[in-house]
Amino acid sequence: MPLDSRFFRETAFKQQLNVAVTVGVIFFAIASSLLTSWQGSRQVRHTLLEQGERIAENLASQSALALLYASAENANQAVKTALSFPDVMRVEIRHADGQPLLVTGNAIAETGDAPRMDGRVRQAYLETETSEAWRSVAPVLSKGDDSPFDVVERKDEVLGFVRVVQSKATLSRMLAQIFIVNLAISLVFAAAFLFVLRQLASRLTRPITELSEAMARAEKGESNVRAGVSGPTDIRDMAKAFNSMIAALQEREQALRESQASYRQVVDSVKEVIFQTDTEGAWVLLNPAWQGITGVPVAQALGRAMAEFVCEEDRPLVAEWQAQLRFGAVPDCGFEVRFPRVDGSIGWLEVTQHVNYDENGQFIGTSGSLGDITDRKLAAEKLANLNVELENRVRVRTAQLEASNRELEAFSYSVSHDLRAPLRAIDGFSRIIAEDYAGQLDETGRSYFARVGAATQRMSQLIDNLLDLARISRATINRERVDLGAMARETVRELTAAEPERQAEIEIAANLVVRADPVLLRVVVDNLMRNAWKYAGRRVTTRIAFGKETRSGADGVEVVYYVRDNGAGFDMSYVDKLFRPFSRLHSGSDFAGSGIGLATVQRIIHRHGGRIWGEGKVDGGATFYFTLPAELSH
């Protein structure tokens, strides 16, 4: 890494600012010193050059007589005066042809070259300049006296020239002094300026420094860190933003800690094992339910694979699922394995597992749960055994039922043949006696024989009803489309034909169509309609209604069929006796009947999977309701 880059990255802003200001001020001081010295040197040089030229001109003006008379003594005083100047190193007085008249001073500056004079030059000028000296030359002119009689104006005659060699030592010394003085002054002002700037920089950077220190403390994990709000507006805004950010982070950290604590409580409290694995399939997280189910401490299980804790027979299954998850064949899986408990017993685990990926889509392990299904497995095994036992019992009971049915058929045959024969004999002989010996019988005797005949008829009807009830219990149900309304209308036609003088209002709803056994449902409709007709016989106008309605119950919506009349009704306290065989709520003298009809109706409805019940009120009529399963309703 470059030095400057490392400096800017590893030093504080205040230090960088101090270094930058210091370097800038020092550079400015040196530059201003150099510039001031350069300007001073130009002025000194110009002054010294003017001084040399004036010395040369003065010497030239005083050397005319010496050159005119070729007498060096005439110029000695002028030469001494010129050499008295500190920087004058050498003085030469030469004739116009370059021959020296007088040469005195430093020998190293001696030169025999005569200056090439321009006849038009009438003043001193700089001839040459070396690193050590300047050579100024001035012409020596003879001024003739003008006569008023001269027609042509006389010109000055060049008698020769003087050369003054002037040293640069004074210039160098003065330049050094000027530079040192300027530099010293600049450094003094720079130091004062730096002091002021450092104070200002310290005051300006103090809020930034405090903010940086607060950030450093926050980075180290110190809690409740706040930056001081001071300094310029932008720094105050930064401090406020930092404080707001720290407050928001602390709130989020607190929420995160609470969430993690809550999550840990939930994970620790569930009865199922919650786990996570790394990329190699080793457990990195297990909740306490693990030890409760397996008996193995969590610390001993962490870092080990699931296959180490299942029965050996199920390890290939575990390895296969782990490989499919690791290589992305499936995103999740579920399977059941057996595991040995610490006490030596064998339990069952239901494993639910899914794949985990990082934000780059790289596989980082799996997560899942383990449920103890040992009780469920034992219950299922017990249920299977019970099912086997139940099937055996069903076969035995079926055989017993078939035997009972055969016995019932034999009994029915016996009743049908063996009991009817004596009844027929009683009925036949009573008729013969009543007919052949009618003249010998009084009214009481004939009444007795009539009662015997009626009793035998009722006994025969009772036998028929018992046989019908037995047949219904054994009959096979053949379901087909049945119109209950048509059956009811046919029964009504028979009833009104038998009693044409009776006033009746019969209401039969439309669309009373079901899928059921037509023979058995005819028995139901016939019994219910004839019962309604019978028990409403004492009303001036018989009213019977056959319809259906929809009701909502615990099992949903169902269709309920009903037969309602305005007859004698019944006491609801005896409603449980309605459907018992031979159980009647009215005397035979009031309403004829055997007490088998409603029992037969109930048997038929139950065999179809429906329900039947009655509601009534003494002298307020009765209503009988029945239902059929939904698949039987059309």
pLDDT digit string, tens, across residues 108-122: 544 445 555 555 667
Average pLDDT score over residue span 189-207: 74
3-class DSSP state of 553: strand
Average pLDDT score over residue span 387-407: 77
What's the DSSP call for residue 80?
A: H
The pLDDT confidence band at residue 454, using thresholds 50, 70 and 90, is low
Cβ–Cβ < 8 Å for 189, 197:
no
What's the DSSP call for residue 282?
A: B
Question: Does the pLDDT at position 562 exceed 90?
Answer: yes
Dihedral Cα 26, 31, 32, 38, nearest 10 deg: 150
Question: Does the pLDDT at position 12 exceed 80?
Answer: no
The pLDDT confidence band at residue 587, using thresholds 50, 70 and 90, is very low
**What is the pLDDT at residue 1?**
46
The pLDDT confidence band at residue 107, using thresholds 50, 70 and 90, is low
Average pLDDT score over residue span 253-261: 76
CA 528 distance to own-chain centroid: 67
Average pLDDT score over residue span 404-428: 64
Q: What is the pLDDT of residues 568-580, one digit of tens each?
A: 788 787 777 777 7
What rounded mean pLDDT belongs to the chain? 78
**What is the pLDDT at residue 118?**
55
Predicted TM-score (pTM) above 0.85: no
Question: Does the pLDDT at position 436 exceed 60?
Answer: yes
**What is the pLDDT at residue 37?**
72
Q: How far apart are CA 513 and CA 482, in angstroms?
A: 6
Phi, psi of 610 (to 5 degrees): -105, -170
Percent of the chain with pLDDT over 70: 79
Phi, psi of 337 (to 5 degrees): -135, 160
More confident residue, 60 or 609: 609
Of 139-148, 314-323, 357-366, 461-470, give the lowest mean pLDDT range.
461-470
Q: What is the pLDDT of residues 49-83, one digit of tens each?
A: 888 788 878 887 888 888 877 787 877 888 888 88
**What is the pLDDT at residue 467?**
64
Instruction: Please compute Rg for the chain using Cα positions.
Output: 70
Cβ–Cβ < 8 Å for 332, 354:
yes
Average pLDDT score over residue span 187-201: 77
**What is the pLDDT at residue 8?**
59
Q: Kindly state the tokens that stand for 87.
A: 């920087």
A 10 A CB-CB count for 30 gives 16
Q: What is the pLDDT of residues 317-351, one digit of tens each?
A: 988 999 888 888 898 999 999 988 888 888 898 89
Q: What is the pLDDT of residues 210-239, one digit of tens each?
A: 777 777 777 777 777 777 777 677 777 777
The pLDDT confidence band at residue 89, using thresholds 50, 70 and 90, is confident
Cβ–Cβ < 8 Å for 4, 19:
no
Q: What is the pLDDT of residues 288-328, one digit of tens each?
A: 888 888 888 888 888 898 888 889 898 999 889 998 888 88
